[in-house]
Structure 1
């Protein structure tokens, strides 16, 4: 009863860029498609231990309470509910649970949907290595606030992984990525100032319960891809005096997605509503289909209030192999002097070494294939 009351009290305490021209993002297919096909079902006992649930709920609940306080939401408030999310791998994920005063939050955060292996898929062509360690990555952009909590666990031992570094990046509300010059549709390919951008890019360490969280924004859609956020989990990296990380290895490379019904509602809210590019649904996205083939890459989430524009709290669990060492080839590096393009990176390969999409057009089909290494067994 005391735990139940504690969990309930934790919860209850609680300028946009123009849309770029339509384009189809290059799909970086793996030669052998070495996706992780391992289930975390064997971890159920560990994840359902009272102390594990209590600690997870405390962390997620504290984040949700912080968001509510920032909006001035008091004790008396409307009910919020975890939204239904797209069924993947023929599993019915719809939840009818309602978050209300006095409920035991462990029934929400220990939901089976919070326990999945995030498959390793493509890093994408717009990764910038060397971004700063920072929780708030919004950079003054407009959009729907998103606090994202990622828990990292070892899929073999079911133990959480502290002291890892999670690196995420995504587009803004109108589908624009900053930080990489010359990619089609991402601004003037001759504009080097694009390299100075760090918005919606950042790194966070996992705490003693394997959780890293970010204050971000819901990303916007763009032609050719379902709405997504990229993530890399680094192990053994070292924090530097300039608040970046170096060294270590990438134990996980993945992408996470959102409920399609949520995205439909988001696209009705400014500035997302100004984006006229074609929407690619999850089920039509090549990489989503790979990631959802046996695993579930869609975040679970709750609305902060009864107004979607006030923001969301979302969570997902990554199951990783701590012995893995994934190949990472960034499009650019962030340095003390700003961004620097990688002359051998995916964008350089796409453009044939030039700064615009027109360069090396004939080489696109054969270039820029980034193969992620299989986990070391």
Structure 2
């Protein structure tokens, strides 16, 4: 992924990004108007039972162009959201500056004495080459912010930083007995609440960027920016897969890996789904009705902050749907920095969601901030390895992250199945 090595003023960068984003957004809106016109022509031909292969091919090309514009907007937004590390250094205290200087020496030349002394002083368990060395807090914050901007589920879910290897969240399986009484009526003793706990272990995620000696010796290269730029995309891709479909073995457990049941039979510990009634497809008649059913499968308290989650291929299908008055249910962003919407709810592009197929769970809808929890163990560690891939120098970079469903009532799924 591209990133800036040399400093720029935020105003200049924002101005360029803003103008570029507006141009892409304007092009996207023109393309959407063309898409609507071509799809209306397709629907009319279907009504007249006149298939048009050329029309279908043209519509597919326009749809691909819409997806490309959205990807460009996402990339521009990500680039603009990356904070400048240099601008925050003036606020660092003396110990942070000392750590930063020692870390630069370690990355550039392998000199670890300064880091070892600092981490031994802090009684860190990672104060040796085998365990790696903690990156400066500023760099750790930079990596976390980039991940939040890149990873769709991380940007929607609740995120908690922990200092232990496991986070346990208690919840009530049965609440205390309650009731209404008159002012002078006797109060009977209430039953005690029954508590249980969900566990969210933090698993190790790693990346291993490589650098040349020339790059590391170049004093004009911002090593913080270089390292963050090398690991952010790799971490985000692996996290994204795990948060959606991870099996929980040495990785977070994704919400699609939870037990799923028909929503009419929903119980705590499982996620409810609505079936489309057709294996591997939307219904041929009134296909958007199942999306409305999915929306109202979610309780009102969750619905007000809910988001649709699906990949772009699935979006290409729902983009053709209209309501009873002829309005398209999918709408492009209202502004260059906004998000697309579906039936008035935000839509998150998540390429790790499965394509539509028989029995697939290709669309999720819910309040992910209440429904899914991500736990980050504090500390990103780096081991410098100049031996394994000579003449390149490898930087084995690790962070610990976990995740899982924390409220099974806050997420609903659309299953492309008969029942």
TM over 0.5: no
Structure scoring higher RCO (CA < 8 A, sep ≥ 6) equals 1
Larger radius of gyration: 2
Q: TM-score range by the shorter chain?
A: under 0.3
TM-score normalised by structure 2 residue count: 0.22
Give the TM-score taking structure 1 as reference length: 0.24
